[in-house]
Amino acid sequence: MPVLLHEDFHAPGEYGLWHITETEEWLRNNVELSEAETVAIGQIKGEGRRREFLAARILLHHMSGRARRGELFKDESGKPHLRDSLFHVSISHTTDYAAAIAHPNPCGVDVQRIVPRIRRLANKFVGAGEKLQLIPEFELLQLHLIWSAKEAMYKAFGRRKIDFKQHLFVDFGAFNANTTTGTAFLKKGKAEMLFDLEFRIYDNFVLVGCVERVKVLL
């Protein structure tokens, strides 16, 4: 199980990243799925997507430290929850990688491959204030970080009908090649959420985690 990352995330939270090299058979043999999860994976046609589905759940269980795995189930808005846990959770996956995050506060995670075509989509999710932060040298990277941060915020919010350009705002501060943190804000109607961001940059993908900046109560 090649876990590339397993670190504290604004303790007592944590997040992790797994490079998926295992076969689907190995993954199936190393996770006990609930009835609902078995139905869900049965509806996934591609082997790669099934491997990602399984790996994300194994990673989350590995991070939990629990002897028996808790079911990952979704509410009516599609937000995942870990059975018998007080922590908020979020998962993400892309080709050959799975990510997970857990925290007492609302949180989200996103992992994205770096692809040039994101520039064609930028006007759909990058706001005016975010455009001012873009630096030519880092523009492609920043666009992916903005997108991933907003994906993570959307997951933390846990409700549908979010406009990434109108309702979500990302601030990296004075961005440079060593920047690994930022802040973000969600505002939709009466709903307002302030987030702390942390991200990791790899050769061909980015990982972004977010957690709402509220008092932790355990």
Domain boundaries in the chain? 3-104, 111-212
CA distance 86 to 38: 24
Beta strands in the chain (DSSP E): 3-8, 14-19, 72-74, 80-82, 88-94, 97-103, 107-113, 168-171, 181-188, 191-201, 205-212
pTM equals: 0.93
Helix axes 47-64, 35-42, angle to 10 degrees: 150
Contacts of 72 (CB under 8 A, 6+ apart): 37, 57, 60, 80, 81, 82, 83, 89, 91
Residue with tokens 């993570």: 152
DSSP count for the chain of H helices, then E strands: 6, 11
The answer as to CATH 3.90.550.10 being correct for domain 111-212 is no
Looking at residue 128, its amino acid is: A
Looking at residue 166, its amino acid is: Q
With a cut of 50, list the residues of the chain below it in pLDDT. Answer: none
- The CATH class for the domain spanning 3-104 reads alpha beta
- pLDDT at res. 56: 96
CA distance 197 to 194: 10
- pLDDT at res. 209: 99
CA distance 90 to 158: 10
Is the CB of residue 130 less than 8 Å from the CB of residue 146?
yes
Contacts of 183 (CB under 8 A, 6+ apart): 170, 171, 173, 194, 195, 196, 197
Same fold, 3-104 and 111-212: yes
- pLDDT at res. 1: 61
pLDDT in tens, 35-94: 999 999 999 999 999 999 999 999 999 998 888 889 999 998 889 999 989 999 999 999
- Residue 43 is given by DSSP the state T
The distance from CA 132 to its chain's CA centroid, rounded to whole angstroms, is 25
Structure tokens given for 98: 């799975």
